[in-house]
Amino acid sequence: MALLKIARMGHPVLLQTAQPVEDVHSLSVRQLVSDMIETMLDARGAGLAAPQVHKSLRLFVYHVPEQRCAEGEAPIPPRVLINPEITPVGDAIMHCTEGCLSLPLLRGVVPRHAIVGYKGFDLDGSVISGEARGFHANVLQHEFDHLNGILYTMRIRDFASFGYADELITPRDSED
């Protein structure tokens, strides 16, 4: 396994639409996923899309750590979603304070669908599908955006809610 270099905002790979993964069973895809999980965990991220590691492929890895779970939700160990489809379920919107490994130290408040359906493949080529809400829905939408050349900053509506994590007071923070 190896730690991969993470592309930072401004690199052209982050603005491209990623290409479908043709062979989910390939050794190169297995190695990429393994390295991406190691890189994500080392960087203390919740997700990492292939374009972020300079690979224009439609796959991402993610996890939901226990500390990010809402009441009644279970943590999700690291997993991959290959050639994903994400669709909104209902009209409810949540406002998420997001960061990104490609924009180190920065955070911003982004509107996201509160519930999404997801479908894709795992490394065995088996279909994975379900509904996600809360942080799980947030991370899926954030990583899916990367596959379409969209950074979370492109979704920010009020740039007063964007800044360095250690300086920013977000609406969520001020409610505590």
Q: Which residues of 107-129 are buried (b: 16+ CB within 10 A; e: fewer)?
A: bbbbebbbbbbbebbebeeeeee
Query: Which pairs with CB-CB distance under 8 Å and at least 24 residues apart come from 100-104?
Result: 100/9, 100/142, 100/151, 100/152, 101/6, 101/40, 101/43, 101/45, 101/48, 101/52, 102/6, 102/7, 102/8, 102/9, 102/11, 102/14, 102/52, 102/151, 103/8, 103/9, 103/151, 103/152, 103/153, 104/8
Residue 106 above 80 pLDDT? yes
**Amino acid identity, position 59:** L
How far, in Å, CA of 143 to CA of 126, rounded?
20
Amino acid at 34: S
pLDDT at position 59 is 98
pLDDT value of position 69: 85
Q: Of 117, 116, 129, 136, give the one whose Cα is nearest residue 73.
A: 136
Locate tokens 């996890």: which residue? 63
Q: What is the pLDDT of residues 123-144, one digit of tens each?
A: 999 999 999 999 999 999 999 9
Give 74-101 pLDDT, tens digit per residue. Answer: 899 999 999 999 999 999 999 999 999 9
Look at residue 176 in the predicted model and tell me its pLDDT.
32
Is residue 73 part of the annotated active site? The answer reads: no
Give tens-digit pLDDT for 163-173.
999 998 755 44
The dihedral of CA 83, 29, 132, 91: what is its sign?
negative
Question: Of 66, 85, 131, 143, which residue is the catalytic one?
Answer: 143
